[in-house]
Amino acid sequence: MVLNLVKMTTMANLLSMFILMEVVGGFRFGVDGLRMDYYIMSCPFAESIVKNTVNRALQDDPTLAAALVRMHFHDCFIEGCDGSILIDSTKDNTAEKDSPGNLSLRGYEVIDDAKEQLEDQCPGTVSCADIVAMAARDAIFWVTIYLYNFMDTKSGGPVYDIPKGRKDGRRSKIEDTINLPFPTFNTSELISAFGKRGFSAQEMVALSGAHTLGVARCSSFKNRLSNADATLDSEFAKTLSKTCSAGDNAEQPFDATQNTFDNFYFNALIRKSGVLFSDQVLYTTPRTRNIVNGYAMNQAMFFFDFQQAMVKMGKVDVKEGSNGEVRQNCRKIN
């Protein structure tokens, strides 16, 4: 009884905080003219339509939370947050989504579902880029509320809101995905890749913490098994080898709680149990080791830094006005 009361109170506080963020931030202008209240007159139910669509999808498949967050990252890292990741290839163009680094992306049908409803309610108004950004935010929020409401846990996740008003890009080319961080990157390469988009080393490590959700395919880490990797715990190496015995598409959770937003990912790095080489180097490199230690010891600090970094990521190279469009179909340019 007391535990349930505590959970209800905690959930109420989270909801109150989220509502307060929307009310207080509703009329705050963001970078490049993005606004929290961008759709308040043109499509007042846009936020709830996206949120309800994401909630339904995650109730059926909680692993989509990680997929939607990853989709947002892969969208923003190439050509900015412009929905270019959603565009299908044509006979004249191979799009971003068909590059090797994006073939494992999932959740496109969630975006399509939300877009279809929004086009019925407010034709030509809500951009696909904004839907992707809102879907990632709502996925994190769903994980938070789900954990507090249905699981016997005190963990959750960061709660944040984002300004809206992004336009959709008209370019999506496979060659641009060379700029995505690779799972074989060392720390210097990661810092450089994120730095080119305006992120500090601290923000890079915080964003890497998104790997507290989801899984990696064997093809992304099997190279660590064929070579002697001193950064990899020997027992965990056996676990990864067993996973890869099922083939390149076999999946290994990034940490022991793959559907829980917590700081277990950082604790795994301390134990030399990071799945990807680009994960583990965050701890083996002195420049980022203290950041990992800090997040491993202080989950609240990780949550705060992560939400700040996610808001910042959602503003990377946004397109406005004639620099973009609002696609009628997220899979193709108008």
Q: How many CB atoms lie within 10 A of CB 45?
A: 13
* 144 annotated as belonging to a binding site for a ligand: no
More confident residue, 159 or 124: 124
**pLDDT digit string, tens, across residues 216-263:** 999 999 989 887 788 899 999 999 999 999 999 999 999 988 888 889
Confidence of residue 30 (pLDDT cuts 50, 70, 90): very low
**Looking at domain 45-314, which CATH architecture does it have?**
Orthogonal Bundle (1.10)
pTM of the model: 0.87
Confidence of residue 307 (pLDDT cuts 50, 70, 90): very high
Q: Which of 72, 74, 137, 312 is catalytic?
A: 74
* 198 annotated as belonging to a binding site for a ligand: no
Residue-level pLDDT at 1: 46
* 317 annotated as belonging to a binding site for a ligand: no
Name residue, tokens 């108004």.
125
Is residue 107 over pLDDT 90?
Answer: yes
* 96 annotated as belonging to a binding site for a ligand: yes
Residue-level pLDDT at 10: 43
Task: Please state the domain extents for the chain.
Answer: 45-314
Q: Say whether 74 is catalytic.
A: yes
Radius of gyration of the chain (CA): 20
* 10 annotated as belonging to a binding site for a ligand: no
* 211 annotated as belonging to a binding site for a ligand: yes
HEC profile of the chain = CHHHHHHHHHHHHHHHHHHHHHHHHCCCECHHHCECCCCCCCCCCHHHHHHHHHHHHHHHCCCHHHHHHHHHHHHHHCCCCCCHHHCCCECCECCHHHCHHHCCCCCHHHHHHHHHHHHHHCCCCCCHHHHHHHHHHHHHHHHHHHHHHHCCCCCCCCCCCCCECCEECCCCCHHHHHHCCCCCCCHHHHHHHHHCCCCCHHHHHHHHHHHHCCEEEHHHCCHHHHCCCCCCCHHHHHHHHHHHCCCCCCEEECCCCCCCCCCHHHHHHHCCCCCCHHHHHHHHCHHHHHHHHHHHHCHHHHHHHHHHHHHHHCCCCCECHHHCECCCCCCCCC
* 32 annotated as belonging to a binding site for a ligand: no
Backbone angles phi and psi of 317, in degrees to 5: 45, 45
